[in-house]
Amino acid sequence: MGDKKHLMVIDAHCGDGELQVGAIAAKYAKAGHKVTFLHLTAGEKGNPPDVPVDVYRDQKIRESEEACAIIGAECITLDYKDAEVQVNEETVIKVATQIRKLRPDLVLTHWVKSIHSDHSNVPKIVEAAQLKAGLSGFELEGYPPKYYSYLHSENWEDMEEYVPDIYVDVTETFETYLEAISKFWFVMNSKDFRYFDYYKALGTIRGCQNRTTYAQTLKFPVGGNIRKGKEIPGFPL
Ligand SMILES: [Zn+2]
């Protein structure tokens, strides 16, 4: 069985994390690891013309729960409003409290540069919550401290200066991933962006680069891949 871990995906909107790392998440879930998606908002303001924002919010939460069930993950959506995600003390404490409660070993989150401010704010919140969740002297509803590391994920709106550091072979779970993301109305029907085509093609291109059929990628935090030790990593004396 080995040592089972908890992988957590923290993103801005229902569907973001599922699109970006859904196949990686499915791979770890299939191997017996716990996987949780935490969405800060439903992303309800990209509503279809004939669906009110509040109705679309419920729809997106339901779609996300269906997608996560296929991936093999838990799904939590907080009640922040779409396009209003702020980096402030209240948000950081709410995320840090969730972290202490759920106790992930690794968090995957958006890259730091984006055309969407909700996206670029989330990794700032994750970074600030890392300190508050980890500090033993910081009281958070009685939960014990929990330190976690985090990596960034690849998304079409967040590509400025995104160069992958890590390629993960997701060949075995890519069909499951495509089934999961097809649960989202916007993935299959958006007139603004061809989500399904893009992410299927992206998994294929990253797979070519990884010399596997399909792959998804991750990136270290800025300055987060510094190694300190007695020799060159991977090149023993
Ligand atoms: Zn989003």
**Identity (one letter) of the amino acid at 222?**
V
Strands 215-219 and 149-153: antiparallel
Q: Give the residue-averaged pLDDT of 94-114.
A: 97
Question: Cα of 123 to ligand 1 centre, how many Å?
Answer: 13
Both tokens of 42, joined, read: 């439903």
Phi then psi for residue 83, to 5 deg, are 65, 15
Q: How confident is the model at residue 83 (pLDDT cuts 50, 70, 90)?
A: very high
3-state secondary structure of 29: helix
Phi then psi for residue 41, to 5 deg, are -135, 165
**Position 6 pLDDT exceeds 70:** yes
Domain 6-219: which topology? Rossmann fold (3.40.50)
Question: Cα of 144 to ligand 1 centre, how many Å?
Answer: 31
Question: Cα of 78 to ligand 1 centre, how many Å?
Answer: 14
Q: How confident is the model at residue 2 (pLDDT cuts 50, 70, 90)?
A: low
Question: Cα of 169 to ligand 1 centre, how many Å?
Answer: 24
Pair 219, 154: CB distance under 8 Å:
yes
Question: Cα of 12 to ligand 1 centre, how many Å?
Answer: 5
Question: Cα of 119 to ligand 1 centre, how many Å?
Answer: 6
User: Which residues lie across from 216 on neighbouring strands?
Assistant: 168
Q: How confident is the model at residue 81 (pLDDT cuts 50, 70, 90)?
A: very high
Pair 32, 4: CB distance under 8 Å:
yes
Report the pLDDT value the prediction gives residue 1, as an integer from 0 to 100: 44
Question: Cα of 211 to ligand 1 centre, how many Å?
Answer: 29
Each residue of 37-79: pLDDT tens digit?
999 999 999 899 999 999 999 999 999 999 999 999 999 999 9
Question: Cα of 51 to ligand 1 centre, how many Å?
Answer: 19
Question: Cα of 24 to ligand 1 centre, how many Å?
Answer: 18
Question: Cα of 114 to ligand 1 centre, how many Å?
Answer: 10
3-state secondary structure of 153: strand
How far lies 23's CA from each of 26, 122, 174, 223, 225, in Å?
Answer: 5, 21, 6, 26, 24
Both tokens of 63, joined, read: 């779609």
Q: List the one residue out of 223, 104, 35, 179 whose CA is nearest residue 188.
A: 179
Q: How confident is the model at residue 138 (pLDDT cuts 50, 70, 90)?
A: very high
Both tokens of 94, joined, read: 């709410």
- What share of the chain has pLDDT > 90, as a percent? 95
Each residue of 139-168: pLDDT tens digit?
999 999 999 999 999 999 999 999 999 999
**Identity (one letter) of the amino acid at 95?**
V
pTM, two decimals, is: 0.96
Long-range contacts, 28-32 (Cβ 8 Å, 24+): 29/71, 29/72, 29/73, 30/72, 30/172, 30/173, 32/1, 32/4
Question: Cα of 101 to ligand 1 centre, how many Å?
Answer: 24
